[in-house]
Structure 1
Amino acid sequence: MSINEELKSVGLQQRDGIIVYLDNISNQYRLRKYGDIVYFSKKMKYCVIYIDNNDAEKIKDEIANLDFVKMVEDSATDKIDLDSAYIEEQIQDLAQKAEAELAERQEKEDLYN
């Protein structure tokens, strides 16, 4: 279940995350009127901003047309599968791979001894 689906079931405002790449990181402050800046990287010159889901496309277009913005892209947070069965399946796969690798290392070690 995605985070927005959980928020919808509770009745809270849904938000979308976008990543905004800037010419100069000092321009990040000009983006505050569009949404909440939750992270920015000085080195990579980008910001992660949460915007209202209802106006997401309109706001993304406005931000993309600003003169100090290089590129705008959607965050992948809604595409993450948070279902517990999926997560447990991934953990089991990792455990099987780790056990196979340990067994292989043990065989090699036994050959050398």
Structure 2
Amino acid sequence: MIPERSGLIVWINDIKSSRVLERYGTVHYVSKKMHYVLLYVDAVKEKKVVQDIQKLPFVKKIEKSLRNEIKTEYNSNIPDKTRFYTI
């Protein structure tokens, strides 16, 4: 069974320190230009990990990713108009 994961966006001062975040979860993406790291952690351990990461000296702020709250199943009530444009 796959554990429930939650995403954290961690804003950092320098890119080299992003390697330290690998011990807290799975680093999915590192933005060199905007200086943030997308980190996935277990949902059960999320609060503990956020507290530990905030104590690090190179972390500016932490945001919770809202990807789990976005609706990904779409309803197609609109009729398909491509059948009207056949040759």
TM-score range, shorter chain: 0.7 to 0.9
Structure number having the greater strand percentage: 2
Q: Which amino acid letter does the alignment assign opposite residue 18 of structure 2? A: Q
TM-score (norm 2): 0.83
Larger Rg: 1
Q: Which amino acid letter does the alignment assign opposite residue 41 of structure 2? A: I
2:70 aligned to which of 68, 71, 80:
80
- Higher RCO (C-alpha under 8 Å, 6+ residues apart): 2
1:18 match: 8
- Report the CA distance between 1:65 and its aligned residue: 1.6
Distance in structure 1 (CA, Å) of the matches to 2:51 and 2:24: 11
Structure number having the greater helix percentage: 1
Q: Paired residues, what number? A: 79
- Report the CA distance between 1:84 and its aligned residue: 2.2
Gaps of 5+ in 1: 1-10, 96-113
TM-score (norm 1): 0.65
Q: Which amino acid letter does the alignment assign opposite residue 65 of structure 1? A: K
State, as a whole percentage, how many aligned pairs show the same letter. Answer: 32
Stretches (4+) displaced over 4 A: none
Pairwise CA RMSD: 1.5
